[in-house]
Structure 1
Amino acid sequence: MASKHPLPPSFLPSNILFPRRSTSLRPPHHPHHQQRGIKSISPVRPNRFNHDPSLPPLGSTKTAAYNRLLAADTLPLRTGALATKSGMTALYDPVTGARTPCTVLQLDRNEVIYHKTRARHGYNAVQVGCGWRQPRNLGRPLLGHLERAGVSAKKEIAEFRVKGEKGLRSSEVGASIGAGWFQEGQFVDTRSKSRGMGFAGGMKRHGFGGQPASHGVSLTHRSMGSAGGGQGSGSRVHPGKKMPGRMGGEQVTIQNLKVLKVDEENGLVVVNGCVSGPKGCLVKIQDAIKKPWPEVLPGPPLPETVAEPLRATT
């Protein structure tokens, strides 16, 4: 059978009517190539306040936030201590006779139990325990945790966040923290639970003014009144509405308390002013973040060696 003659170009189909399907003619990133994806419902809008090339770029990563934390004075350089509130008293100035109210805090066998690092736990903190209790009253996991640190059974355990790894070197695991850890004249922050008031009404809990004493008001003089609107607010009580409930028993932070006296032999730290909570409550003491830090900087020595010059000055 004779072979067919090739057709002339005029008889071939046109590329317009029958386009060729070739990936080489249209690259994947062609400007007219349609790309499908998820469209953001909140696109990034230009900001007219942050176009200065001299400004550093804003970082939203965990590393950038950690670097900002190290650059700012938002965490103390060293760990704190746990104390028990013994009560309040007053000190008198022998020259002027001025009376200064103060609170006596008792430190009892404070020891460092554990170091939490950013690589393993996400933040830097020092775990401190105080007091003593019967080992049979503790669970086996906690007893093993204390045994690895080489400390006795503790009554209370708390954490103190510190600034960077330098704060972890302020105290080694198993080291004791006494009253000499603080020095007279420095400022500290205290954290403790406030005294529980039980169930309280709106006037006592939030300071409401109450209802009028007359003019048709009967048996609702200390009532809070309306708890919410009608149709305009959805005929409901909005979340966070101030209402009667349990009052007190919350952690209260009191900042910038000046250390007036330090008795390292008896483990007493006397601070100016009042500390929240009843007698016998647990109080966390740490260097104030809004005041100059003490000259005793954290370093390799243990707290016992750091406290030697403080005994000479007091």
Structure 2
Amino acid sequence: MLGLIGKKIGMTSYFNELGYCIPCTVIKAGPCTVLQKKTLKKDGYYSLQLGFEEKKKTNKPLLGHFNKFNSSPKKIIFEFAGNFLNSPGDIIKVDFFKENEKVDIVGKSKGKGFQGVVKRHGFSGVGEKTHGQHNRARAPGAIGAGSDPSRVFKGTRMAGRMGGKRSTIKNLNILKIDFKRNFLIVKGSVPGPKNSYLLINKIG
């Protein structure tokens, strides 16, 4: 399903008709330029390539790609799979969506760096500080038997790099649309820090 590329502005509060305060995220959705339309006959599959935000400098191969489709260089390029009616040069704006519509939003979660098992997996540590266990409060404990199987199983929850991964939040409700500024106000939170880029996918 076709969607838009967007940018996370931040979080705010939205008050509905009953006066309830709803936490929500403000996203700048588009405008996106259609750069290329791929077809089954020419490329082996159907898709629509969109570009978002102007880019000051780019390399020559990419510049040739943009010039081929009469477009200025774009910061973010993404393909949406499917056979759509849009043509290169078309501008897709936030009016592509409707209020109270459901969307799936894809982003890259905040990176937390290298973290231990307590923060990364919610472990409670080995135990109390009694019986000489002065440095075991946040330790992972045993990671497997010794003689058999004599190895650590794949997928064992251990310390490691946390966050910074592609993440999808499904079925988020669009509360309000600001057509002048191309803003989507979506219920709840979405992955990533402020000014990070998102994919907003239409459902159905």
Normalised-by-shorter TM-score class: over 0.9
- Decide whether the 8 Å contact of 1:180 with 1:263 is kept in 2: no
Match of 1:222?
138
**Equivalent position of 1:129 in the other structure:** 51
Distance 1:121 1:226, change over 3 A: farther
One-letter code aligned to 1:260:
L
Match of 1:86 among 9, 12, 15: 9
Q: How does 1:1-314 map to 2 (within 5 A)?
A: 76=1, 79-94=2-17, 96-134=18-56, 137-162=57-82, 165=83, 168-169=84-85, 171-216=86-131, 217-233=133-149, 235-288=150-203, 293=204
Q: Select the structure of larger CA radius of gyration.
A: 1
Aligned residue identity for 1:259: I
Structure 1 residue 236 displacement after superposition:
1.7
| Compared CA separation, residues 227 and 183, structure 1 to 2 (3 A) | same
How far the C-alpha of 1:149 sits from its partner, in A, is 1.5
The amino acid of 1:89's aligned partner reads T
Q: Identify unmatched segments of 5+ residues in structure 1.
A: 1-75, 294-314
- 1:198 CA displacement: 0.8
Give the C-alpha shift of residue 227 in structure 1. 2.1
Counterpart CA distance in 1 for 2:41 and 2:143 is: 48
TM-score, length of structure 2 as denominator length: 0.92
| Runs of at least 5 residues in structure 2 that lack an aligned partner in the other structure | none
Supply the distance in 1 between the matched residues of 2:144 and 2:38 (Cα, whole angstroms). 46
Cα distance in 2 for residues equivalent to 1:122 and 1:254: 30
Q: Which secondary structure state, in structure 1, belongs to the residue aligned with residue 54 of structure 2?
A: coil
**In 2: Cα distance, 1:272 partner to 1:180 partner:** 18
Deviations 1:138-182 (A, max 9, x none): 1111111111111111011112223xx3xx22x211111111111
Paired residue secondary structure (2:61): helix
Using the aligned pairs only, state the percent identity. Answer: 36
The C-alpha deviation readout for 1:52-91, integer Å capped at 9, x for no partner, is xxxxxxxxxxxxxxxxxxxxxxxx2xx2111110011111
| RMSD value, Cα | 1.6
TM-score by length of 1: 0.61
Instruction: Provide closer, same or farther for how the CA distance between residues 221 and 123 of structure 1 changes in structure 2, counting only shifts above 3 A.
Output: farther
Instruction: Return closer, same or farther for 1:212/1:149 CA change in 2, 3 Å cut-off.
Output: same
How far apart in 2 are the matches of 1:97 and 1:227? Answer: 51
1: CA distance between counterparts of 2:71 and 2:165? 30
Please identify which structure carries the higher helix content. 1
Larger relative contact order (CA 8 Å, sep ≥ 6): 2
1:121 positional shift: 4.5
8 Å Cα contact 2:30/2:94 also seen in 1? no
Contact 2:30-2:92 at 8 Å conserved across structures: no
